[in-house]
Structure 1
Amino acid sequence: MHTSLIVLYTGHLRECADFYIGLGLPLQLEQHGNGPEHYAAELGGTVFEVYPASDRRPPTGSLRLGFRVPAHAVVRGLPTGRHLLTDPDGRMVELEIIKETNINE
């Protein structure tokens, strides 16, 4: 089994997108038909999306996410190693910044 989709709903769309882009996720602005603008990135075989919350789709609550990112991709300037961060909605994000040669280990 493999995770193929993770969707976060947020009341802070741009702030969350900027946060995850700063971690090295290649989020791109998208819109499908008449649906809402949102951000999406393909991470290996997993699609990661950040959507605006609505009455029908309330903000994603407490959640902890983890990402392994090559050092060259991180915009925030953090050193290699593990970092525990909080996104604009208060979700915990564990970021492991590694040398590119170790990305799949």
Structure 2
Amino acid sequence: MPIEAPSLNLVVLRARDPGSLAAFYKALGFEFQIERHGSGPEHLASTTGGSVFEIYPKGSESLDTSAVRLGFRVPSISTVLSDLGTTVDMISRPSKSDWGTRCVIRDPEGHKIELLET
């Protein structure tokens, strides 16, 4: 029996302002809903393509996810950048690569986000 390759099914980010961070990712096409699991904290969750993307409030603990780098395939980088407006923290401008057009931006909580248009 062939072994099935692993696939990513969950990404969790911590944020000082989860609502603001969700608004940023909404420009990439994510739709969030409020969730709570058991006695855990209320958070925002988006399910797409079989994966769950969650944004939790950053509590008093020292959990910091700002070193995390995420990559998203998007239909149009120019549309995403336009939807985000003038507040985009651009690390590298859109340019052609072997994988398609790509750029790297930073979200409001400091996470580096690679956008790839194929």
- Name the TM tier (shorter chain): 0.7 to 0.9
Question: 5+ residue gaps in structure 1?
Answer: 99-105
**Higher RCO (C-alpha 8 Å, min separation 6):** 1
| Cα RMSD for the two superposed structures | 2.5
CA distance in structure 2 between the partners assigned to 1:21 and 1:36 by the alignment: 21
CA shift for structure 1 position 12: 2.0
Q: 1:43 to 1:53 in 2, by over 3 A?
A: same
Is 1:13 equivalent to 2:18 in the alignment?
yes
The aligned residue for residue 89 of structure 1 is 109
CA distance in structure 2 between the partners assigned to 1:5 and 1:57 by the alignment: 21
Q: In the TM superposition, what whole-angstrom CA distance separates every residue of 1:49-102 from its partner, at most 9, and x where no partner exists?
A: 11001134623131110001234xx5553699422110111110011235xxxx
Compute the TM-score of the two structures, normalised by the length of structure 1: 0.73
CA shift for structure 1 position 11: 1.2
CA shift for structure 1 position 33: 4.3
Structure number, greater radius of gyration: 2
Q: 1:47 to 1:4 in 2, by over 3 A?
A: same
Percent identity between the two aligned chains: 42
CA shift for structure 1 position 48: 0.8
Question: 5+ residue gaps in structure 2?
Answer: 1-5, 84-93, 95-99
Say if 1:11 and 1:52, in contact at 8 Å, map to a contact too.
Answer: yes
Q: 1:53 aligns with which of 35, 42, 58?
A: 58
Say if 1:9 and 1:57, in contact at 8 Å, map to a contact too.
Answer: no
Q: 1:25 aligns with which of 21, 30, 36?
A: 30
Compute the TM-score of the two structures, normalised by the length of structure 2: 0.66
CA shift for structure 1 position 19: 0.8
The aligned length equals 96
